[in-house]
Amino acid sequence: MKSLDVLMPVEGMGLIGDLIGARLPVHRLWLEPNPDLWLAEWGPRIRAIAVAGHIRADEAYMRRFPSLEIISSFGVGYDHIDAKAAARLGIIVTNTPGVLDDEVADTALGLMLMAVRQLPQAERYLRAGLWPKGAYPLTPSLRGRTVGIVGLGRIGKAIATRVSGFGLDIVYHGRHAQTDVPYRYYPSLVEMAKASDILIIVAPGGPSTRHIVNAEVLEALGPEGVLINIARGSLVDEKALIGALRTGKILAAGLDVYENEPNVPAELIALPNAVLLPHVGSASVKTRQAMAECVAENILAWADGKPPLTPVPETPWQGRWGKDG
């Protein structure tokens, strides 16, 4: 194993630092009294970064570390890292796909059930002592609905498997049709929204997908439509969504992600037809531990001179990428 100085820029799961620190020197930037002064001295020595919390790693950020070889990121989404710039600089970027698919898919189905059947509202009704005064009003049903999945990747397929178990029809939208799935493909998101009763958003974040769910898509979804977002808040025009929920242009929404986390608009919180979770899609002890292990294992494999386990498509493993030391 070659020696790599590993930077953890922000505090995250302590397990990540523990696993890497058992074999490599780990520097926890948030503990430094003067981070800028520390980076000026240590930046040139850093060869690996473990991203266990939110940082914006653009090209300027990466250039602060001229010896950087690998960024190992916690989570399947990596829109906070400019992976194309990393490729130009010869830096590998890894994420944690696979280990969180089932957990996030479970959360999506939970949000769908809660939003359609008004389960959080019914619980609040009981807790407020209103049941003795009369039964909770009848709710909409899942029966007979078509579910449109935006982004049929690993998590999207896991959601589709679960939705099929509910006896619902499935259609999907993405960059291209997939020949190995039995679901109808819509090249137009607006047309799929017209054909769907429930939209589940699972596509990656980033500039290319920003606000792809806009007022036009919500209008197409219609007054009986339900929006579920477990991907990134940036995919949905939050102002348009608030307007659609407030005016009845759509029936309900179930959200785990927001445009400006952890700040959720007060207008959204006030809406009775919005089910809101604090970005907990993968937040179980078992899944987060597996994600932490994946972050560490990517860096440890790299230090051993082995290929990274889960490089992102923009920085594929092609032989001995990077700088040997």
- Backbone torsion region of residue 14, taken as left when φ is above 0, otherwise alpha when ψ lies between -120 and 50, otherwise beta: alpha
Which residue pairs, CB below 8 angstroms and at least 24 apart, start in 175-178? 178/152
- For residues 161 and 305, give the distance between their C-alpha atoms in angstroms, rounded to a whole number: 38
- 232: annotated active-site residue: yes
Contact assessment for residue 100 and residue 77, using Cβ atoms and an 8 Å cutoff:
no
> HEC string of 34-92?
CHHHHHHHHHHHEEEEEECCCCCECHHHHCCCCCCCEEEECCCCCCCECHHHHHHCCCE
Q: Which of 27, 145, 232, 288 is catalytic?
A: 232
Q: How far apart are the first and last CA of the chain?
A: 10
Longest alpha-carbon distance in the chain: 74
**Strands lying side by side in the sheet with 226-229:** 184-185, 169-173, 146-150, 198-201, 226-229, 252-255, 274-276
Closest alpha carbon to 250 in 209, 215, 276: 215
Q: Which of 219, 279, 293, 314 is catalytic?
A: 279
The answer to whether 173 is a known catalytic residue is: no
Q: Could you tell me the sign of the dihedral formed by the alpha carbons of 157, 162, 165, 167, in that order? A: negative
| 175 is a catalytic site residue | no
Task: Give the integer Cα–Cα distance in Å for 306 and 318.
Answer: 12
Which tokens belong to 97? 């796909």
Residues in the chain: 325
Distance, CA of 181 to CA of 7 (rounded, Å): 41
User: How far is Cα 269 from Cα 113, in angstroms, rounded to an integer?
Assistant: 19
170: part of which helix (H) or strand (E)? Answer: strand 169-173
> Which residues does the annotation mark as catalytic?
232, 261, 279
